């Protein structure tokens, strides 16, 4: 699991070069990361390991992750961004 001292590394990994993905992933780090449960943090790190094309399809709603935790996290990130 990543510690608070690894936040700069996570921010670097969350930068995808697509403005929309960057906003979603970095927004999660800015707003939710500090208070997230360890299992949610682990899911976010798994999410960062996914291909950009898969992330884009998931966040656009064209597809859903097979992993239930990733699916829930994607939906949570989208809901937070819409709020």
pLDDT computed for residue 83 by the predictor: 82
- Averaged confidence pLDDT in the chain: 92
Per domain, the residue ranges of the chain are 4-82
Residues 63 and 80: their CA atoms lie apart, in Å, by 19
The string of pLDDT tens digits covering residues 25-59 is 999 999 999 999 999 999 999 999 999 999 999 99
Greater confidence, 5 or 30?
30
Architecture of the domain defined by 4-82: Orthogonal Bundle (1.10)
CB atoms within 10 A of CB 57: 14
pLDDT computed for residue 4 by the predictor: 55
């Amino acid at each position: 699991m990543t510690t608070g001292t690894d936040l700069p590394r996570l921010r670097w990994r969350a930068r995808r070069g697509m403005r929309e993905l960057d906003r979603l992933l970095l927004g999660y780090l800015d707003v939710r990361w500090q208070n997230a449960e360890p299992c949610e943090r682990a899911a976010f790190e798994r999410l960062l390991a996914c291909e950009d094309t898969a992330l884009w399809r998931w966040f656009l709603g064209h597809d859903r992750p097979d992993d239930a935790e990733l699916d829930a996290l994607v939906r949570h990130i989208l809901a937070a961004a819409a709020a």
